[in-house]
Structure 1
Amino acid sequence: MKRLVFLVTLGTLSAAVAYAQPLNRSTPDANRKSAEEAEAASNPYEALELYDKVYDETKDREIAIKIAKLEYELRDYTRAERAFGRLVLRDRKNELTELKYWYAMSMKYNGKYAEAIDMFNQYINDSAADPGLVTLAKREIAGCEIGKKAKQPENLIVANLGKKANSPQTESSPSYSGGELYYTSLQSKEVIVVDGKEGDWYSKVYTAAKSGGSEYGEPTALGQQINREDWHQGNVSVSPDGRTMYFTRVQLIEGGQGIAESKIYYSTKGSDGWGAANEVVGVNGDYVAKHPCEGELFGEKVLFFVANMPGGKGGFDIYYAPKKTDGVFGIPVNLGEVINTDAEEASPFYQDGKLYFSSNGHPNIGGLDVFESQWNGSVWSAPKPLPLGVNSSVDDQFYTRLPDGMSGFLVSNRPGPNNLKSKTCCDDIYAWEIERIKVDLTASTFRRRRRGEKENPPLKGCTVQIYDVTEKDPARVDERTNAAANNFDFTLLPEKSYQVIATHDGYVPDTLEFNTVGVKRSTSVQKKLTLRLLRREPEYDTIRINEPIRLSNIYYDFNKW
């Protein structure tokens, strides 16, 4: 279906690695040959550098096409858009029809959704368009339409873990357990050149602790029981109970031209730490197995993972295998076409009946977007994309959630503080958090001013009650008395209606109502209640007319009347 084959990094290993080639030629023809050799040896950075030199001297259109493809492959979408754009605009004879598709894809990765839609439509309406790419273009248009409307929730906070945890190279698969963040990384500050002098350049499993805010401190590599010498370790995931660690061990084909082996391993945690790793039984085979994550289906523990085994829906699909005992699983089962597409699925994560995963086969706003699907006991619901902030115009994967469901981590190549080459070349770990929206109410009580007073003076000793009147029957949620001052602090919830009542002996109560409907961020509210002095009714004697009145104990002098 795809005419152009680009290196797509879906988390098995995603790194800036160059395999050394001789650089003893300097003529355009010599540089072209060296560039082709570098490209064949899976050395795109060196190939790009050489092709740039050739183009500077020759202005050869075929070289310009190679440069545009390599920029796209290396996820430098700004330069790729510029390179494809020049080629398309200069194509007077309409000989480069397919490049319109990749030009549109580059614009989509740069978040230029309206422009991308226009270019996708130009490609679709071109009589020379490839039918397979036309189908993909229509799906990409659907994703661009979503992107045009996407808005990040105001209470969603996403932050880079910082330059200590994230290296200029690529980080992957964050998994939080026992107060530590586990993840895999090459921990290199430059492009790794494999020339026999590169030393220990293998990806390892690291742990890091929080250092403040959203940032984490310097990572520490786990021991050799996990990080096997001369192997790449990747895709770490710790089970919810913290007892089992799953990860992959990967060997590359000599020369870096693909993956020779990628299998899932596990380690059990004991009193003295993580034990020796063993290969998981039941899920590995003559295919790439990656992205393990423990979950639950049909009331039993299962292992979700990703593989390109024969008979799947597309390139890499998500599977599950029922757990028999530690490290032993049953026959893998494909999650089916509701989840898996003809493209790529990646990084499953399961929590509370929901599967979170990344895919570029469902309509998306970038490349790999994070989706969620609900398990109802028998089938999965149609996947829904997570909001902007979790998803971006580039690749977003390895989404995880902490037990509270209000925070977690993800991996993205969105522009960050640590850029090895381009702003979008390499993956960093990000922390996300849904801010718990609260409304801090300060209620102040006052006495209504008397004649001659300019202001209502503070009234101490009041009692303030808060009622939730959202529903038909009001419910008292808080009550406080303050004998020393006239201020009362309460924490309220969003999307509620409240009634506030202030009382004091000898005063008429004051009441007010307000609501927190539509509040999107935590905020503070101040309200004043003014109580009026209760007037005492005067006491009166009742006198009835035309009735005799008896006066007692009245005496007169004798013989005076």
Structure 2
Amino acid sequence: MTKKLLLILLLLCVLPAFAQQKLHKADKLFAEFAYTEAAKLYEEYLADAKNPKQETIVNTADSYYNTGKMASAVRWYDKLYELQKDAMDETHFGRYILSLRGEERYEKADQLLWEYLDKKGSKKFKQKLITQKQHLDSLNKNLPVYKVENLAVNTNKADFGTSFYGDKIVYASGKDSIKGHGRVYSWNEQPFLTLYVSDRDTTTGAFINEQKFLPKAQTNYHNAAPAFSPDLKTAYYSANNVTKSDRLENGANGTNNIELIKGQVQNGELTLPESVPFNNKNYSVGQPAVSADGKWLYFVSDMPGGLGETDIYIAEIFSDGKLGKPKNLGPTINTTGREMFPFINDEVLYFSSDGHYGLGGLDVFTSKKTGDTQFAEPQNIGKPINSNLDDFAYIVSKDGAFGYLSSNRAGGKGDDDIYYVTRANNAPCGQLVTGRVINKKTGQPIEGVAVKAQVNGSGYTDTSKADGTYIITIPCGTEAVVEGKKPDYTTGKPNGKGEIELSKYDDLIVKDGDVEKVAINPIYFDFDKYYIRPQAAAELDKVVYVMQNFPDIVIKIESHTDSRGNDEYNMQLSDDRAKSTYSYIMAKGIAPERIESVKGYGESRLINKCANGVECSEEDHQLNRRSDFIIVKK
């Protein structure tokens, strides 16, 4: 055997072993969340691998996704989708869609998403996303309402997460690269974060007179996302879980998580620092926000029992400063994706999400508060606040005149940057009223409904689309009374879910031969009585509902008794019962001329065998004690 042949055989043995060693190292880095380095090694391995495992393709795609390299993430998610198709799990399919949006490939992202949801039978969730998309499309057709400017304070490191601190601004930055002896966060090879406080130039929004915030309280690792009580005496912020000696303390799976720190601010220092009671080293708790009245703490966590990767929670702040039990904000706000960076401005919640329909990455959404822990359907705030990449940590002044946004969008100075947000010159101020019109009986969408939003004597309108959705723009800072109308349907106002439920005329009546009657359950009277029972009142309200919604309807009332008792007496009793129902309807505001006649028929029109002398049960007799509401004109 020649030396050349020996060398070839040796290389054939060594190269696969070297490749496996590279893959093993990449897997180890991936498990340690060192995604930047892992991606490099995976790429080197895959360049020569002929039949790589699907797990390796997944890890490569995820490494790029987790570091915001969406073009590379799409390249590998494309390969994964070719291999798995419908078998692709929900998490990675969601990341695939977000990566496509991050590259502004919206048409392909939508096509894949609608097909996926159809196959999964997720019709309700699909409709929710379609409604959000229509809202966003409508919003982005208009001229930009906001102006977004990059601030001079930004560096090529991470700068993000602003919070109002009286007239000052507190934010986090990784620019102090000397801190921690130059150590970096292996996830994205960025330095650990430090909190800074600055004055705010009221003209330009710039940060001036910057210094470190609560320097003695901060750890040598991540310190970010602060929030304050209304009196500025209590501070909350996010930090790595650390030991008393300021060393990272990992959870059971070896991951270092984030905890929420609370303390009192005195003379520029944090006193009485403590870990909030629902912290746990096995999951993260952070990104706090405090309500304007100081009674509620919002925060983000991936604690067990949530709906997605990270959810927004709320906990009551008692008068003694203690915190109540956390409550998940539920599926109206939270999704299977990431909900992050809440900010509450009076009655409006701002937060970022990649689970609701957006432009790509995290988008900023708003949701109006409807109760202590209840919120309306979220609405995307649109461009230019949102982009195809991550847009988050949006805060806005009380009067809505300005705000601050964090984003890793193109054109920044590096990683995450802070942007100053103001209303664009001469931009009309409009807010959207959106929702969906559905059939109350079937739940199906109704097309062609005239929806009107009444604001201070002015009306703003839209017509519901094939999917039942409507979008109306009304002036900012106003409240609208919304109502939907369509011929042969009832009128209706939005419920707590933003839906207008209408009933079709045919669903409210029954036909008895050529006769139409209002569809109600039988109205029963007690034996020998003619007063209205609660059950009867509930049914009569249905008659009133039909007459209120169809103002041309005219009815006649017919009342009947069973056969027991004197025939003449029963005739009088039935007449009293008819008049009793008539009086109830009149008391509800129905005009007298809309009731043609009111008549009792006694026992002359029995609907079963229970005539005089026939033995029947009480239940059978009661069937004859009834009233009918017959439509004579419509």
| Cα drift, residue 359 of structure 1 | 2.5
Structure 1 counterpart of 2:411: 416
Structure 2 counterpart of 1:366: 360
| Cα drift, residue 77 of structure 1 | 0.8
Which string of whole-angstrom CA distances, capped at 9 and with x for unpartnered residues, describes residues 456-509 of structure 1?
xxxxxxxxxxxxxxx99xxxxxxxxxxxxxxxxxxxxx99xxxxxxxxxxxxxx
Instruction: Note if 1:303 corresponds to 2:297.
Output: yes
3-state SS in 2 of match to 1:159: strand
Structure 1 counterpart of 2:421: 432
Structure 1 counterpart of 2:145: 155
**Alignment partners' CA distance in 1, 2:302 and 2:18:** 42
- Point out where structure 1 has 5 or more consecutive residues left out of the alignment: 1-24, 420-425, 440-470, 473-493, 496-561
Q: 1:305/1:67 Cα in 2 relative to 1: closer, same or farther (>3 Å)?
A: closer
Which string of whole-angstrom CA distances, capped at 9 and with x for unpartnered residues, describes residues 485-539 of structure 1?
xxxxxxxxx99xxxxxxxxxxxxxxxxxxxxxxxxxxxxxxxxxxxxxxxxxxxx
Structure 2 counterpart of 1:523: none
Instruction: Note if 1:266 corresponds to 2:262.
Output: yes
Structure 2 counterpart of 1:382: 377
Q: 1:69/1:434 Cα in 2 relative to 1: closer, same or farther (>3 Å)?
A: same
Instruction: Note if 1:248 corresponds to 2:242.
Output: no
Q: Is the 8 A contact 2:385 2:405 kept in 1?
A: yes
Structure 2 counterpart of 1:406: 401
Q: Is the 8 A contact 1:161 1:430 kept in 2?
A: yes
**Alignment partners' CA distance in 2, 1:132 and 1:267:** 48
Q: After the TM superposition, which of the residue ranges 169-178 and 405-414 deviates more from structure 2?
A: 169-178
3-state SS in 2 of match to 1:27: helix
**Alignment partners' CA distance in 2, 1:94 and 1:333:** 36
| Cα drift, residue 344 of structure 1 | 3.0
Q: Is the 8 A contact 1:302 1:323 kept in 2?
A: yes
Structure 1 counterpart of 2:158: 170
Query: Given the alignment, which residue of 18, 22, 39 partners 1:27?
Result: 18
**Alignment partners' CA distance in 2, 1:393 and 1:329:** 37
Instruction: Note if 1:68 corresponds to 2:64.
Output: no
Q: Is the 8 A contact 2:284 2:301 kept in 1?
A: yes
Structure number with greater CO (CA < 8 Å, separation at least 6) is 1
Q: After the TM superposition, which of the residue ranges 59-68 and 172-181 deviates more from structure 2?
A: 59-68
Which string of whole-angstrom CA distances, capped at 9 and with x for unpartnered residues, describes residues 160-203 of structure 1?
223xx3233323320122443201222267995579xx9x9542
Structure 1 counterpart of 2:39: 48
- Write the mapping of 1:193-232 to structure 2, written as runs, cut at 5 A: 193=184, 201-210=191-200, 213-216=204-207, 219-228=210-219, 230-232=220-222
3-state SS in 2 of match to 1:172: strand
**Alignment partners' CA distance in 2, 1:185 and 1:87:** 36
Q: Percent identity?
A: 27
Which string of whole-angstrom CA distances, capped at 9 and with x for unpartnered residues, describes residues 300-333 of structure 1?
6222222334444444332322222464223333
Q: Is the 8 A contact 1:306 1:319 kept in 2?
A: yes
Structure 1 counterpart of 2:330: 336
Q: Is the 8 A contact 1:180 1:209 kept in 2?
A: yes
**Alignment partners' CA distance in 1, 2:288 and 2:263:** 13
3-state SS in 1 of match to 2:398: coil
| Cα drift, residue 430 of structure 1 | 1.7
- Write the mapping of 1:446-485 to structure 2, written as runs, cut at 5 A: none
Structure 1 counterpart of 2:105: 112
Query: Given the alignment, which residue of 163, 171, 183 partners 1:183?
Result: 171
3-state SS in 2 of match to 1:183: strand
3-state SS in 2 of match to 1:372: strand
Q: 1:57/1:317 Cα in 2 relative to 1: closer, same or farther (>3 Å)?
A: closer
Query: Given the alignment, which residue of 343, 350, 357 partners 1:356?
Result: 350
3-state SS in 1 of match to 2:409: coil
Which string of whole-angstrom CA distances, capped at 9 and with x for unpartnered residues, describes residues 247-296 of structure 1?
122125559976445332234334x3233251265554564221211115
Q: Is the 8 A contact 1:113 1:145 kept in 2?
A: no
Higher helix share: 2
Which string of whole-angstrom CA distances, capped at 9 and with x for unpartnered residues, describes residues 364-405 of structure 1?
332332222222446422222222222222222211112221
| Cα drift, residue 35 of structure 1 | 1.5
Q: After the TM superposition, which of the residue ranges 369-378 and 143-152 deviates more from structure 2?
A: 143-152
Q: How many residues end up aligned between the 2 structures? A: 398
Structure 1 counterpart of 2:271: 276
Larger radius of gyration: 1
2:25 corresponds to which letter in structure 1?
Answer: S
1:428 corresponds to which letter in structure 2?
Answer: D
RMSD (Å), alpha carbons: 4.2
Q: 1:171/1:255 Cα in 2 relative to 1: closer, same or farther (>3 Å)?
A: farther
1:183 corresponds to which letter in structure 2?
Answer: Y
2:366 corresponds to which letter in structure 1?
Answer: E
Structure 1 counterpart of 2:387: 392
**Alignment partners' CA distance in 2, 1:194 and 1:321:** 30
**Alignment partners' CA distance in 1, 2:366 and 2:59:** 37
Query: Given the alignment, which residue of 271, 285, 289 partners 1:289?
Result: 285
2:113 corresponds to which letter in structure 1?
Answer: F
Q: Is the 8 A contact 1:156 1:389 kept in 2?
A: yes
Q: 1:117/1:146 Cα in 2 relative to 1: closer, same or farther (>3 Å)?
A: farther
Q: 1:100/1:242 Cα in 2 relative to 1: closer, same or farther (>3 Å)?
A: closer
**Alignment partners' CA distance in 2, 1:79 and 1:307:** 28
Q: 1:256/1:416 Cα in 2 relative to 1: closer, same or farther (>3 Å)?
A: farther
Which string of whole-angstrom CA distances, capped at 9 and with x for unpartnered residues, describes residues 326-356 of structure 1?
6422333333333333433222211222222
- Write the mapping of 1:87-166 to structure 2, written as runs, cut at 5 A: 103-121=96-114, 131=120, 148-151=137-140, 153-162=143-152, 165-166=153-154
| Cα drift, residue 135 of structure 1 | 9.3
**Alignment partners' CA distance in 2, 1:74 and 1:418:** 16
**Alignment partners' CA distance in 1, 2:304 and 2:79:** 40
Instruction: Note if 1:319 corresponds to 2:313.
Output: yes
Q: 1:122/1:328 Cα in 2 relative to 1: closer, same or farther (>3 Å)?
A: closer
1:273 corresponds to which letter in structure 2?
Answer: G
Q: Is the 8 A contact 1:44 1:74 kept in 2?
A: yes
Structure 2 counterpart of 1:80: 73
3-state SS in 2 of match to 1:213: coil
3-state SS in 1 of match to 2:337: coil
Q: Is the 8 A contact 1:101 1:123 kept in 2?
A: no
3-state SS in 2 of match to 1:119: helix
**Alignment partners' CA distance in 1, 2:164 and 2:277:** 26
Q: After the TM superposition, which of the residue ranges 331-340 and 73-82 deviates more from structure 2?
A: 331-340
3-state SS in 1 of match to 2:291: strand
Structure 2 counterpart of 1:234: 224
3-state SS in 2 of match to 1:357: strand
1:433 corresponds to which letter in structure 2?
Answer: T
2:382 corresponds to which letter in structure 1?
Answer: P
**Alignment partners' CA distance in 1, 2:59 and 2:230:** 46
2:175 corresponds to which letter in structure 1?
Answer: Q
Q: 1:167/1:218 Cα in 2 relative to 1: closer, same or farther (>3 Å)?
A: farther
TM-score normalized with structure 1 length: 0.60
Structure 1 counterpart of 2:540: none
**Alignment partners' CA distance in 2, 1:179 and 1:280:** 27
- Point out where structure 2 has 5 or more consecutive residues left out of the alignment: 1-15, 242-247, 429-455, 458-474, 477-634
| Cα drift, residue 234 of structure 1 | 2.1
Q: Is the 8 A contact 2:185 2:192 kept in 1?
A: no
